[in-house]
Structure 1
Amino acid sequence: MTDHARPKSRKDRIMDAALRIFAEKSFPEATISEISKEAGVSEATIYEYFGTKEDLLFAIPEKISNDTFEESEAVLPYIKDVEGRMRAILFSYIQLYQDNPHYSALVLLQLMSNKRFRQTEAHAAIRRSAHRLLDCIRDGIADGTFRADADAYLIRSLLMGTIEHLFIHWHMQGMPKREKSIMDMLDPFLEIVLSGIRAKKDPQGLTLRLNLEDARALGQLLQDDATVKSSGRASATAGKSKKTKSKK
C-alpha cells in the first residue's frame, strides 16, 4: 500500500477537522465537541493528542508549514540561479495558500495577530520559508546578480507582504473566482521587483533612445550647428580671397 492510499491517522483527521472549523467559525467560537464529531473521534482522544484547544490550533500550521518547507527544500538544490530559487520559494508559498484556503484564512486572518502564536514552534516553521527567501536575496547581492546597495530585508518584506496582502483581500471578498489568480500574478510581480534590484551590466556600446520631440530638437540642433559651420567656412574663404587680391 502506498503512502497516498493509506488512511489518515486519527491525529491527522483531528487536525483536518479543526482546520476547517477554526477557519470557518474562528477559534473562539469553535468547540472541541464540534471537532470531535467532525473527526469521528472522542473528545478525550483529542485531549490525548493535544493538551488544549490552543495547542491544537498551533499544531496545524506547524505541521503544514514543515511539510511544505521540506518539499520546497527538496527542489531548491537543483535550481542554480538565484532568481529561479526565489521564484520557486514564492511559488510554493502561493500554492500553499491558494490550494489550502482554510489554512491561509486561519494563518492570515487569525494567527498572525496572535501574540502567543509568534512565540511558538508553529510560527518558527512559517518563518523558515521567509528566512530561506532572505538567504536567496543575500546570495544574489553577494554574487553580483543584484545591486550591492539592495536591502535584503526590505525586498523580502515587499515580496511576502504583497502576497499576504493579496490573499487577505481575497479572503475578505469571499474568495471570488477571477480570470487571473494570485498565482498568475507571480511572474509579472516578481519581474517588477527584480528589474529594480538587478545589478546593471557594463554597456557594450552607447544606445541613444529619444522620443519624437527630443528627436526633432536634436535634428534642429544638428541642422543649426551645420549652418553655423557652413557660414564660418564661407566667411573664412571670403577672407582668404580678399587677402589674395590685396597682395596682387
Structure 2
Amino acid sequence: MSNPEQCNDNQAMTPKGRERQRRILDAAREVFLEQGFENASIGEIMKRAGGSMSTLYRCFGNKLGLFEAMMQQATNDLFDSVDDRVVWHDGLEEGLRSFGRRFIEQINTPHAIALFRLVISVNGADREDIQRIFYANGPERVRSRLTEFLRSQADKGRLKVDSCELAAGQFIDLIKEPWHQQALFGVAYPPDLPEKSLEQGIAIFLDGTRIKEL
C-alpha cells in the first residue's frame, strides 16, 4: 500500500512535524478503538488532533492509509520490546520463558485486547487489507523474532524441528490459549491461567523438540 508524501519518513521530518504526526496517530487510535474502522470519522480524528484535513490526506492518503500508519505505531508500542536483547537468553528453556512472559504481558493489556477486537470486528470492503496490515505489523513480526531465536538454538544443537517458523507459531499458540480467546470475548478466567499456559506450553514444546542429552 502506498503512502503519498508519507510524513512517516522520520529522518526527513522536523521535531514539530513528528509531534504533529504523533498527535494525529494518537487521535486516530482513540477514534478507531471507540468507533470501529467503518464508523470512525476522519473529521473527529482531526478535531482531536488539531490541524487541517489537507495535512492528514497529504501524509496518509486516505482513511485506510491512516489506519495502516496507526497500526504500525500501535504495534511498535506493543511489540518493540521483543526486539530487546534482554528478552532473549542463551538457553532454550530460559529464552522461551522470557519471551513468553513478555509476549503475554504485551497482549494481555486492555489496549492490546481492544486492538485485536477492532481488527476482528471489521466487516467492510477493507477487511482483508486491515487484517493483512495488523498481521504483518503484529503477529508476523513476533513470530519472525521467535523463529530467529529457535534457529539459533537449532544451530547450537539444542533443538530439532523440521521448520523453526512453524515451531514458533505453534509455541505462540500453546502459550496464549485458551485465556486469550476468553479475553477477546470477555469471558472471565482465573488470573493465574496465562502463567499456567506458559509453563505447560514450554513443557509440551520442549518434550517434542529438545534434543536429549546422552
TM-score (ref. length: structure 1): 0.61
How many residues matched? 193
Gaps of 5+ in 1: 1-6, 203-248
Give CA deviations for 1:146-175 in whole Å, capped at 9, x if unaligned: 2x345423322222334277434312226x
Within-5 A mapping of 1:163-202 = 163=176, 166-173=179-186, 176=188, 178-180=190-192, 182=194, 185-202=197-214
* Aligned mate of 1:161, from 173, 180, 192: 173
1:22 positional shift: 1.7
1:80 matched to 2:90 = yes
Equivalent position SS for 1:139? helix
**What TM-score do you get using the length of structure 2 for normalisation?**
0.69
State the partner residue of 2:103: 93
* Rounded Cα–Cα distance in structure 1 between residues aligned with 2:21 and 2:87: 32
Output the CA distance in 2 between the equivalents of 1:52 and 1:191.
Answer: 47
Give the match for residue 34 of structure 1: 44
Q: Deviations over 1:167-220 (max 9, x none)?
A: 34312226x574336356433332332233222222xxxxxxxxxxxxxxxxxx
User: What amino acid does structure 2 have at the position aligned with 1:94?
Assistant: I
Give 1:140's aligned residue.
153
Question: How far did residue 141 of structure 1 move?
Answer: 2.6
* Alpha carbons of structure 1 residues 79 and 164: separation in structure 2 relative to 1, 3 Å: same
Give 1:128 shift.
2.7
Would the aligned equivalents of 1:82 and 1:139 in 2 still touch at CA under 8 Å? Answer: no
- The structure whose Rg is larger is 1
Instruction: Work out whether residues 26 and 110 of structure 1, in 8 Å CA contact, stay in contact via their aligned partners in 2.
Output: yes
Kindly report the root-mean-square deviation, in angstroms, between the aligned alpha carbons of the 2 structures. 3.5
Structure-2 separation of matches of 1:78 and 1:151: 20
Q: Distance in 2 between matches of 1:130 and 1:178?
A: 26
Tell me the distance in 1 between the aligned counterparts of 2:161 and 2:60: 47
Query: Are the counterparts in 1 of residues 161 and 167 from structure 2 also a CA contact under 8 Å?
Result: no
User: Partner residue of 2:34?
Assistant: 24
Given that 1:108 and 1:164 are in contact with CA atoms closer than 8 Å, whether structure 2 keeps it comes out as: no
Return the alpha-carbon distance in structure 2 between the equivalents of residues 33 and 91 of structure 1. Answer: 39
Per-residue CA deviation, residues 99-131 of structure 1 (Å, 9 max, x unaligned), is: 3233333345559x94334665x6544323211
Determine if contact 1:150/1:197 at 8 Å carries over to the other structure.
no
Structural mapping, 1:1-150, within 5 Å: 9-76=19-86, 79-99=89-109, 100-101=111-112, 102-107=114-119, 109-110=121-122, 114-117=127-130, 123-126=135-138, 127-146=140-159, 148-149=160-161
By how many angstroms is 1:58 displaced?
0.8
Structure 2: any 5+ residue segments left out of the alignment?
1-15
Does structure 2 conserve the Cα–Cα contact (< 8 Å) formed by 1:19 and 1:103?
no
Separation in structure 2 between the aligned mates of residue 46 and residue 123 of structure 1, nearest angstrom: 24
For residues 3-31 of structure 1, give each alpha carbon's deviation from its aligned partner in whole angstroms, at most 9, with x where no partner exists. Answer: xxxx9923222222222322332211111
Instruction: Look up the SS of the partner of 1:116 in the other structure.
Output: helix
